[in-house]
Structure 1
Amino acid sequence: MTSYDKPSLTMSEIEAVLRKHFGTGATEITPMAGGNLSSVFSFVHEGKGYCVKFSDLAGAYKTERYVSDLLSGQGIPFPKCLALGKTGRLAYAIMERIEGRNLADCTEEEQARQLPDLMAILTRLAAVKVGATSGYGWIGPDGNGAYASWKDFVVAFNAEDQTGTFWENWHDLYRTSCLEKDVFEEIYHRLMDYVPYNESYRGFIHGDFHQWNILSDGTRITGIIDGNCMYGDFLVDLAILDRHMPRSGVVGKYQDVQAKAGIALPNFKERLLGAYYFKGLDGLRFYAKMGWKDAYQGTREFLLNLK
């Protein structure tokens, strides 16, 4: 089990998909960086920017359309989904393109200046109205979570049997990669100790809230993209951002913003620890699969030293 290869397409295959939805006139079709599981291309039609994403994973993008409608309908700067379809074995989604570049491409100083914007978006994500939906964990195309409780989701997500998913046969990583079984199991046991603190909170979680999924014009945040969206404790998104911007004091700034707004954060420390363990454990497995040894080692040390 080695790193995952994104689907490859010829230019004529991409052009055929765009012709189906736009007729002629799509220009500047250009591969985009980012996206670990999708092949993404930007293009222009009648002066407006769009992107098209292709994936060979089952059910890809149906949930993204639900999330797109949910977030853009509540004023969160997330791309509108314009079309879904299939071409051969691949699913595709056509989205509006939000102007800006990855926040990761900004200097550290520029990123720091945009922290108030990031705190505002995190606050708005936590307040997303999820309506009459139910369940925890991965959001399905119908808007419901896949599991009855956060604990059920955590157990299932880390179970050995992941048939038909990105994690099928993931226990092979213990033999074929840098993933260490004793370390994984230690973090998993710690995670389960903190599950009770997180499981009474059910909000929207972007699930991949970091600089490569955040767009900026250099002075302000213009939008957020992608996501491994789920229902659970919204502090998961804070934990992700803090791990990707470790020198920015993200956690303290978030607490200050919430305190000024009169928003209570009960059991904050325990919930944040649960969030670190949840995302960190996922990170260990992912970095091992992708062969990113430095990211694996950094995450391993961070998790083992948490108190």
Structure 2
Amino acid sequence: MRPNKPDLSITTVQTVLLQHWGCPAQEVSAVGDSGNFSTVYYFTMKGSEYVILFNQAEQADYLRKQYIADLLSAQGVRYPKMIGQGTVECYRYCILERIPGHVLADCLPEQKVNMLSDLVQSITAMNQVQLPETTTGFGEVREDGNGEFPSWLDYIQAFFAEDQTGTFWENWHDLFHTTCLERDVFNECFGRLLTFSKYNASYRHFVHNDCHAWNILSDGRRITVIIDSNPIYGDFLIDIASIEDAIPGTDVAEVFRIHAEHIGTPIHDFGARLTGARYFKGLDAMRFYAKMGYTDAYVELRDSLLALPTEL
């Protein structure tokens, strides 16, 4: 079943903004392709540009968004500040500053190549933010700034567990019977993930966890902002695995490795950690593609995962 995106009229959005700000917004317009879960609008208020995003998230999710926005923007990461939040009908909304740019995926090939260095520097700066010393844990970042689980392995086991309730993946094992998702392939790749996860397990960084070319904006010359994180604490190689196909014909992961050495922070066990990250993101994407009915994408990803190393 596809996620239920909010269906709101421009008039409703204008009313929400009037109630939130106490004065009418200008230039309210819908963003055409705003993803599978949210409905997004641009608007202008008192000469500044903003974004308002509606979805069915819980209040805790929006408190988490506020924590992440504050954490990243305070340390100079190109990430939008969160201005406010609230509810309308059965939906929640948040208001963010709008930083101009178009998705990296839509840039011309030569533009992508020219921005590679800036892309690597921007993502590296995000992954290397200083986490508050009072926070602990791995996996999904809670609204209090702590990770949900005591270890990376605990998070992996819970994230792919069959008996989930109240999450997007509740009853996801039904996909083995109702979609193209293949149990034997999934179990094989999950076993490989567990093998390689020991190389990722000791690293705890901020991980965007949805770091692809549609969540990175550019003006065609430089990266302007990174948006829409699904944040976890873990190995930042997960974000490298997510973005490594953004520039066809370029070994983006290798550019990250070289950059890390250049700035004096070499990535130890690079190959093994990258493989573990590829299995983690790949398994999640496989079941997502199956759930959404993206069969061609599923088959392509399945074949690429099966071609990955099974051991060092």
TM-score surpassing 0.5? yes
- Who is 1:158 aligned against? 160
Deviation at 1:201, TM superposition (A): 0.2
Cα displacement string for residues 118-175 of structure 1 (whole angstroms, at most 9, x for unaligned residues): 1101221221111121110011111111011000000000001221111111111112
Show structure 1 runs of 4+ deviating over 4 A.
none
- Who is 1:53 aligned against? 53
Residue 42 of structure 2 corresponds to residue 42 of structure 1:
yes
Deviation at 1:109, TM superposition (A): 1.4
Give, in whole Å, the separation in 1 of the partners of 2:290 and 2:247.
21
- One-letter identity of the residue aligned with 1:210: H
- Who is 1:19 aligned against? 18
- Who is 1:90 aligned against? 91
Deviation at 1:37, TM superposition (A): 1.3
- Who is 1:146 aligned against? 148
Deviation at 1:245, TM superposition (A): 3.6
- One-letter identity of the residue aligned with 1:73: A
- One-letter identity of the residue aligned with 1:153: Y
Correspondence 1:146-295 to 2 at 5 A: 146-295=148-297
Correspondence 1:107-146 to 2 at 5 A: 107-131=108-132, 132-146=134-148
Deviation at 1:105, TM superposition (A): 1.5
Cα displacement string for residues 4-45 of structure 1 (whole angstroms, at most 9, x for unaligned residues): 231211223212211122223312221212332111111111
Give, in whole Å, the separation in 2 of the partners of 1:186 and 1:16.
51
Which blocks of at least 5 consecutive residues in structure 2 are unaligned?
Answer: none
CA RMSD between the two structures? 1.3
Give, in whole Å, the separation in 1 of the partners of 2:247 and 2:284.
18
- One-letter identity of the residue aligned with 2:37: L
Q: TM-score, normalised by structure 2?
A: 0.95
Give, in whole Å, the separation in 1 of the partners of 2:97 and 2:283.
33
Return 177-186 or 67-76, whichever deviates more: 177-186
SS at match of 1:263: coil
Give, in whole Å, the separation in 2 of the partners of 1:244 and 1:186.
27
Deviation at 1:294, TM superposition (A): 1.8
Give, in whole Å, the separation in 1 of the partners of 2:24 and 2:6.
25
Cα displacement string for residues 221-273 of structure 1 (whole angstroms, at most 9, x for unaligned residues): 11100011100001100000014445321011111111211212111111110
Return 38-47 or 231-240, whichever deviates more: 38-47
- One-letter identity of the residue aligned with 2:293: G
SS at match of 1:212: coil
Deviation at 1:190, TM superposition (A): 0.5
Give, in whole Å, the separation in 1 of the partners of 2:246 and 2:188.
23
SS at match of 1:211: coil
Deviation at 1:47, TM superposition (A): 2.1
Give, in whole Å, the separation in 1 of the partners of 2:249 and 2:296.
18
- Conserved? CA contact 1:62–1:84, under 8 Å: no
SS at match of 1:52: strand
Which blocks of at least 5 consecutive residues in structure 1 are unaligned?
Answer: none
Give, in whole Å, the separation in 2 of the partners of 1:78 and 1:129.
15
Return 176-185 or 271-280, whichever deviates more: 176-185
Give, in whole Å, the separation in 2 of the partners of 1:295 and 1:245.
18
Residue 4 of structure 2 corresponds to residue 5 of structure 1:
yes
